Amino acid sequence: MQGEREDLIKSAVEIIRSGGTVVYPTETVYGLGADALSEEAVRKVYKIKRRELSHPISLAVSSFEMVHRVASIDPESLEILTELLPGPVTVLLRKKDTVPAVLTAASNVVGVRFPDNEIATRIINETGPITSTSANVSGRTPPTSVEEVEIKADIIINGGRCKYGMPSTVVDMTRTTASEDKRDININIEIKRRGAGYDRVLHVLRSKAVGKGLHGFPVPELWKNRDR
């Protein structure tokens, strides 16, 4: 069984490197992965999901070095990220030019996931950032086991039932303001979607709020946007 899984992980890495697609497990729901920095590969994901190109797709990383490759992060934001990640959180950040416009629907904001799942991170370690979107047709319920996966990909990796069984909590960290002397950065954080790990996210953000200029913690509807 272990040998079979190792073979599947190796195959998944090769498929992503060659522009293909993979269904992979995370701690939230099963994801549909492809090279997130390849416009052609990302378009395949949109096609498989029957997703409108006007709806952005997030990407997944496996290290903070990789986060820096795809997004611009100030030291204050990084301090918060290290408390939130890895985990069931999608963080909205300002994207770098390495991220293709098709992934973000031409926006300058990219959703970043750092999954807390060994299979997912092992794949990403070898391939670099991959797409992080639920492995379902847009608008349908995200799968929490391989038995629930209905879409077709080049390979499907069975990692068992997902720990949380619901999409990630989404945190917007794109809005910052600087003091007049540019020495202090205030981060205006908003929780866009309440999903897996919400209570912990709220605890982390509240604990960091003192002296950090953090504010804006509305309580959104439970995983309002199911397709993530």
pLDDT tens across 116-171, in order? 999 999 999 999 999 999 999 999 999 999 999 999 999 999 999 999 999 999 99
Q: Is the pLDDT of residue 220 over 60?
A: no
Residue 175 banded pLDDT, cuts 50, 70, 90? confident
Q: Which of 82, 45, 88, 46 is nearest to 67 (CA)?
A: 82
Residue, of 210 and 137, whose pLDDT is higher: 137
Q: What is the bridge-based pairing of β-strands 22-24 and 155-156?
A: parallel
User: Count of CB atoms within 10 A of residue 39's CB?
Assistant: 11
136/227: higher pLDDT: 136
Over residues 78-102, the pLDDT tens digits come to 999 999 999 999 999 999 999 999 9
Peptide bond into 86 cis (omega under 30): yes
**What percent of the chain clears pLDDT 70, i.e. is strictly above it?**
86
For residues 76 and 46, the model is more confident at: 46
DSSP code string of 25-93: --SSS-EEE-BTT-HHHHHHHHHHHT--TTS--EEE-SSHHHHHHHEE--HHHHHHHHHH-SSSEEEEE
Residue owning tokens 């047709």: 137
Bridge partners (DSSP) of residue 155 are 22
Q: Which fold has domain 2-209?
A: DHBP synthase (3.90.870)
